Structures are given as structure tokens and as C-alpha cells.
Structure 1
Amino acid sequence: MAKEVYQNRIELLQGTLDLLILETLRWGAQHGYGISHAIRARSGEVLQVETGSLYPALHRLERQKWIASQWRLTEQNQRAKFYELTTAGKEQLVRDRSKWEAMVQAIAGVLGPVPEPEA
């Protein structure tokens, strides 16, 4: 049972990071640092994705064909791998957003006011 709970936790964390990455790439192609910076900036400096989590997630998403990559030059004229959303990735993003919104509603239901008992 504990292993199953732990696995579910990993899937939730990976799924959330995947959603954040896919959403960030919806705005256009980015290199890894740009993705990390966008997530941090858009979250009001609350969410910080470490390199050790970001790049395995990017590789996983690329294996799933949800993102594609190619080497390009950055604005600072440095060579970097840029990632962009594929058609399959856009479809996955729609599914993931839907699941996320359902999860937010479910959590809000638990955290909301306790309903009055019926008389």
C-alpha cells in the first residue's frame, strides 16, 4: 500500500511538472533555462523547478512525442536546445488542464466551508 501511495505521489508531481512545462511551451519555443524562468516568474517566484527535475521531465515529454527539440542560438548567441509543443503535446495539454481543473474543484470542495446539516 505504501509503495502505491508513493507511486501516486510521484505521478502527481510529474504530472504537475509536465503540465507546467507544456503550458509554458504553449507560449512558444523555449530552452530549459527559459522554461524554468517562465515558471518561476509566472508563479510569482513561488515555484522553482530545479535542473535535476526539469531535464528528466523534458526528456520524458520528448520520448512521449509531446514536445520536440532542436539546437538554436539564444539571444546571448549561445547554443542551446529549444523545446516546442507538438500537435500531440497540445492535445495532451488540453487533457491535463481538464484533469487539473477537476482536481482544483475537488480540493476547493474539501477546503471550502462545511455545509450546514439538513434539519
Structure 2
Amino acid sequence: MGRQMTEMLKGTLEGIVLALLVGAPAYGYEITAQLRERGFTEIAEGTVYALLVRIEQKGLVDVEKVPSEKGPPRKVYSLNAQGRVELAEFWKTWGFLADRIGELHTTDTTTEGEN
């Protein structure tokens, strides 16, 4: 993954993880696996776990400890009402940015041959 992709993901990964949790509660490894299934193959597990700590501290998820067949209990994260508000704001912001960037891209590609 290139430097640009890494930098862009830093600003959007929280929203991406919140969006994954809309579907169903999940624990850290499941979230990492879902990200990888969706093409985010270079995201390290440690990055996901650090993000989960942050969104828990921000009060965006509810956490339940569930017994595990292997080892200590797992922390299962589910999106709560505050997390849904944050996710709605993320999508609103994402839509705005995507529209503006799309306009820039269209303008850039239509003026390329003019120089």
C-alpha cells in the first residue's frame, strides 16, 4: 500500500469500522477479517485494536466480554446510538468530500489536453 493510501486510511478507518459494526457486533479479529475481505489487506491487526480502544473511549460502541473457547474472553463491539450519530456524520462528510474530489477529477481530466 502506498503512502497516500496509508494517509487517507488514517482519516477514514474509524468510519469504515463503524460502518462494519452496523451489520452485526464483532470482535477485533472479525473486524480485521472483514476489512481484509473488502480489500483492506494491508491494515495491521494492531491498528484495528488501537482504533477499537479509541472508539470505545469515545463512547461510540458498547462492549461485551464473551467467553472464548480459546483463551481469555473476547471483547465484542456493537454500535450504540452515539456511534450511529458519528457514522451518519461520517457518511455526510464522506459524501461531501467525494463530490468535491469528483468535481476536481473531472475538471482535471477535461483540461489535461489544453496545456
State the distance in 2 between where 1:98 and 1:60 align.
Answer: 21
State the distance in 1 between where 2:64 and 2:40 align.
Answer: 29
Instruction: Give the match's secondary structure for 1:114.
Output: helix
* Percentage of pairs with the same residue: 22
State the distance in 2 between where 1:94 and 1:69 align.
Answer: 20
Do residues 71 (structure 1) and 65 (structure 2) align?
A: yes
Which residue of structure 2 lines up, in the alignment, with residue 50 of structure 1?
44
Q: CA deviation at 1:46?
A: 4.0
Spell out the pairing of 1:27-38 with structure 2 (5 A cutoff): 27-38=23-34
Q: CA deviation at 1:103?
A: 1.1
Structure 1: runs of 5+ lacking an equivalent: 1-8
RMSD: 2.1
Structure 2: runs of 5+ lacking an equivalent: 1-5
State the distance in 2 between where 1:72 and 1:61 align.
Answer: 19
Which residue of structure 2 lines up, in the alignment, with residue 104 of structure 1?
98
Which residue of structure 2 lines up, in the alignment, with residue 4 of structure 1?
none
Q: Deviations over 1:77-115 (max 9, x none)?
A: 343111110100001100001101111111111112426
Which residue of structure 1 lines up, in the alignment, with residue 16 of structure 2?
20
Do residues 95 (structure 1) and 89 (structure 2) align?
A: yes
TM-score (norm. length: structure 2): 0.77
Q: CA deviation at 1:47?
A: 4.2
Aligned residues: 102
Q: Deviations over 1:58-80 (max 9, x none)?
A: 11111110012111135xx3431
Q: Which runs of 4+ in 1 moved over 4 A?
A: none
Which one-letter code corresponds to 1:15 in the other structure?
A: G
State the distance in 1 between where 2:25 and 2:54 align.
Answer: 17
